[in-house]
Structure 1
Amino acid sequence: MTTDTNVLDQQTFASIGAAKQEPAWLAQSRAEALALASTLPLPKLEKTRIDRWTLGGTGAYRPAKPVLNAAELPGELANLIGDNPSPNLLVQHDSGVVFVRVSPELESQGVILKSLEQAAVDHPELVQQYFMQAVKKDEHRLTALHAALWNGGLFLYVPKNVEVKEPIQAIFYSENPEATFAPHVLIVADTHSSVTYVDNYLSAASETKMLHNGVLEVFAKPGASVRVATVHDLGGHVTDVNYRRAVLENDAKIEWIIGELSHGNGVADTYSILKGNGSNSDMKVIAVGVGDQKLNYTTRAVHFGKSSASDMITRAVMRDEATGIINGITKIEHGATKADGQQTERVLMLSPKARGDANPILLIDEDDVTAGHAASVGQVNPEQVYYLMSRGIPKPEAERLIIYGFLYPVIEEIPLEALREQLSALVERKLGQ
């Protein structure tokens, strides 16, 4: 049964307006998006009837109580942060940011890390210049819905020539399924700056259906280097919708490291716009589907700049009756000479009822370029299982080793040891269910 998103709950929208004292431009943006949400169609996805999904459950604006230190956070969050929390940390609990910490060193260098809501008040000209400029609110109904109802979120600005050595960490936690949960992450890396941003999305167990509708925008100025690592581990009651987009200027670089490990239906569109000459995009995605999950994950790279380069690698494992549609799109525009676009999509199915589709697409409008793709869909090789069993390894363990061997080429390229360990643990937990 679907929930009609043509008619957005006016009470939900009113609850946001009543709870916030936002700048006039932002209030107007929300109102415009609300009007669009009732008129725009849903996005059209390859081989996925998203119109049959439950896309309601937007909830009401219900931020949790702010805390003064990380030790006061709920136990699940404290466990994720660990004994050595990042000196630069933001935590959102349900509809609002409850904790922000920035090291004195970064503050002295002019780095801004705060909730997007607060940044819109404190730095309106900077935020307004970039907010919803990579992901447009009029693209379709879900982006309009996000622009109308987003809450909490994160704003990160790195000034010119500043190198942020410690990763910036964020946690987005949904505990109350009746609370609006739609964080917006906005990262601006100024000229010749560098930063690593790591976030985690997780939820408490619930039987109440809800929607996570998130957007992440990155703007990398000339010579900037940005690494974004995001891990989604939301529960089966959550429909997980994500739109991620980076705009790269001359010689700018983005590295995406993505773990799609949520337990409900999911859509993600991760998109690099290589606007500048010499720009570079590197994407690594791991996805695991279990039960009757329906997943549609797309990676895109569009080349405008000369001598720009993109590489996209997605490896997905489908178990039980899960369905995974894995799309890779490389577009090289006319004039993007010497561009190089590569992509690989591989899907491993662990059950006769599981389904996987890998759809590589190359769209080339320029002659003097290099482009290529590789795609495969298949099941665990019985000969490999037999070989391992002949060496005394039980069949379940043999299959587990083959699965990890399938995912390892992506995991081993992740440059953050903690993230490698976390992804490995989450994959093992999900496949072991």
Structure 2
Amino acid sequence: MSTQIVLPIDRAGLVELSKTRQEPQWMTTLREQALELAGSLELPKLEKTRIDRWNLASYGTYKAAAALTTLEQLPESAKSLLQNEGQGHPENLLVQKNSGVVYNSISDELKQQGVVFCSLEEALNSHSELVQKHFMTVVSKDENQLTALHAALWSGGVFLYVPKNVEVNVPIQALFLTDDAEASFSPHVLIVAEQHSSVTYVDNYISEGNLNHLVQNGVVEVVAKPGANVTFASVHNLNDSVTDLTYRRAVVENDASIEWIVGEMNFGNAMSDTTTILKGNGSTSDAKIICVGTADQKLNITTRAVHFGKSSDSNMITRAVMRDEATAIINGVTKIEHGATKANGEQTEKVLMLSPKSRGDANPILLIDEDDVTAGHAASVGQVNPEQVYYLMSRGISKAEAERLIIYGFLAPVVSEIPLEQIQSQLQHLVERKLGQ
């Protein structure tokens, strides 16, 4: 199969673009190989979701982005996400607009500690060996057509490196904005936390205008070395003219931890897969995911923990609220490999449906190949409890307000865990916006 059938870009054009951007030879070669793979690999097979029926043809083309002279040039929807608790814009911030990074800042204090926070494109030159060591190793380019296309076409992105024993006490923030239907939008986030380091990273994805079914094909890779602690919070709020496809994955080594906090607040079709590979003994993973579906959205949200390490621990909580004719497939997968003795895996998936035409499927899956472990799951799908509404109304609360309070209570276990107050507020606002409250 010709790669030109997959995307309107040929191998020669891809190589020339890579050279124009002065990428190292190993990246040019990787892009070539990935584009060739994209021509032969299939789309991922998702549980109860025919992703092959989605409009996945519009990737746009790479367009160089002009740097921002001031953050005031951003739209109001973007600026509202960048406030630093009333102290102006945060010091440690990266902004990608369409194909490229247009703003990047890092405090002198973090620089002196050896922290690297820059665009992945910049890191290809300034930290090439470090990037090469980890890029597309947590998520492989040959997994399926989407990962291959991402490896071939990614641009912009984030590289965050935290040296050994460094504790970053302030959140590192990134904003990804798309407003050009002709420009590619496939950022790659690579986070490497060395031994006994800690960091909190927060990002937001937003869009402006009619983007004509543009595809956001993003990948997140997190490497948590022994004893490292990483908190990763992300809110996706792309409009209904964008299809959002995202793989997030972490490899967690001995006594290291990853905390995922994800808000899937898109208005278009979306697929996300958030996976932790618990490679090390004593490694831990905690994932809290919420999503809200409206109109005729189709959502496929998977959270996964794969245990290899002894005494490893994972916990997953997913909450989904569906209205109108939206459909959500919520998958929780706990896999405990042979040899992962004393591992513990817990998961809960709950779907709340606000319309008789909406649909939510919760699929808890336990795959256990070891005897000396503990694991459990819980799942529920249902509508707002009329007895709860009646009770609140008997206390003088209107029916609409009663339903609103029940919905927010349903989502609270995740919303309350967002590590930044302004992101919590933003997520609350997005829930209100999507549910028309």
Instruction: Please give the residue correspondences for 1:329-344 in structure 2 after superposition, counting only pairs within 5 Å.
Output: 329-344=333-348
For residues 303 and 157 of structure 1, what CA distance do their matches in structure 2 show? 25
Q: Give the corresponding residue for 1:85.
A: 89
Q: Give the corresponding residue for 2:52.
A: 51
Q: Name the amino acid aligned to 1:65.
A: A
Q: Give the corresponding residue for 2:300.
A: 296
Instruction: Please give the residue correspondences for 1:353-392 in structure 2 after superposition, counting only pairs within 5 Å.
Output: 353-392=357-396
**SS of match in other structure, 1:54:** coil
What whole-Å deviation, never above 9, does each CA across 1:396-426 have from its counterpart, x for those lacking one? Answer: 2221111111111222233433322221111
Instruction: Please give the residue correspondences for 1:260-339 in structure 2 after superposition, counting only pairs within 5 Å.
Output: 260-339=264-343
Report how far residue 203 of structure 1 moved. Answer: 0.4
Report how far residue 86 of structure 1 moved. Answer: 1.5
Q: Name the amino acid aligned to 1:229.
A: A
Q: Name the amino acid aligned to 2:18.
A: G
1:76 counterpart = 2:69: no
TM-score by length of 2: 0.95
Report how far residue 5 of structure 1 moved. Answer: 8.7
Q: Give the corresponding residue for 1:408.
A: 412
- 2:225·2:256 contact (CA, 8 Å) conserved in 1? yes
- 1:328·1:343 contact (CA, 8 Å) conserved in 2? yes
Instruction: Please give the residue correspondences for 1:172-191 in structure 2 after superposition, counting only pairs within 5 Å.
Output: 172-191=176-195
**SS of match in other structure, 2:379:** strand
- 2:189·2:220 contact (CA, 8 Å) conserved in 1? yes
Q: Name the amino acid aligned to 2:325.
A: E
For residues 424 and 239 of structure 2, what CA distance do their matches in structure 1 show? 21
Q: Give the corresponding residue for 2:27.
A: 26
Report how far residue 77 of structure 1 moved. Answer: 2.4
What whole-Å deviation, never above 9, does each CA across 1:196-223 have from its counterpart, x for those lacking one? Answer: 0000000002151100000000000000
For residues 202 and 15 of structure 2, what CA distance do their matches in structure 1 show? 32
Q: Name the amino acid aligned to 1:104.
A: D
What whole-Å deviation, never above 9, does each CA across 1:40-70 have from its counterpart, x for those lacking one? Answer: 0000000000000001110011132102443
What whole-Å deviation, never above 9, does each CA across 1:68-104 have from its counterpart, x for those lacking one? Answer: 4433434432232135222100000110000100100
More off after superposition, 387-396 vs 174-183: 387-396
Instruction: Please give the residue correspondences for 1:122-271 in structure 2 after superposition, counting only pairs within 5 Å.
Output: 122-206=126-210, 208-271=212-275
CA distance 1:119–1:207, change in 2 (3 Å) = closer
For residues 415 and 71 of structure 1, what CA distance do their matches in structure 2 show? 25
For residues 362 and 322 of structure 2, what CA distance do their matches in structure 1 show? 12
- 2:15·2:32 contact (CA, 8 Å) conserved in 1? no
More off after superposition, 122-131 vs 406-415: 406-415
For residues 78 and 321 of structure 2, what CA distance do their matches in structure 1 show? 27
More off after superposition, 65-74 vs 48-57: 65-74
- 1:6·1:39 contact (CA, 8 Å) conserved in 2? no
Report how far residue 392 of structure 1 moved. Answer: 2.6
- 1:15·1:61 contact (CA, 8 Å) conserved in 2? no
Alignment gaps of 5+ in structure 1: none
More off after superposition, 29-38 vs 78-87: 78-87
- 1:277·1:307 contact (CA, 8 Å) conserved in 2? yes
Instruction: Please give the residue correspondences for 1:99-114 in structure 2 after superposition, counting only pairs within 5 Å.
Output: 99-114=103-118
For residues 237 and 268 of structure 1, what CA distance do their matches in structure 2 show? 17
What whole-Å deviation, never above 9, does each CA across 1:247-300 have from its counterpart, x for those lacking one? Answer: 001000000000000100000000000000000000000100000000000000
For residues 404 and 263 of structure 2, what CA distance do their matches in structure 1 show? 18
1:432 counterpart = 2:436: yes
**SS of match in other structure, 1:142:** helix
More off after superposition, 59-68 vs 43-52: 59-68
Q: Name the amino acid aligned to 2:373.
A: V
What whole-Å deviation, never above 9, does each CA across 1:141-192 have from its counterpart, x for those lacking one? Answer: 0000100100000000000000001100000000102110000000000000
What is the CA RMSD across the aligned residues, in angstroms? Answer: 1.6
Q: Name the amino acid aligned to 2:294.
A: V
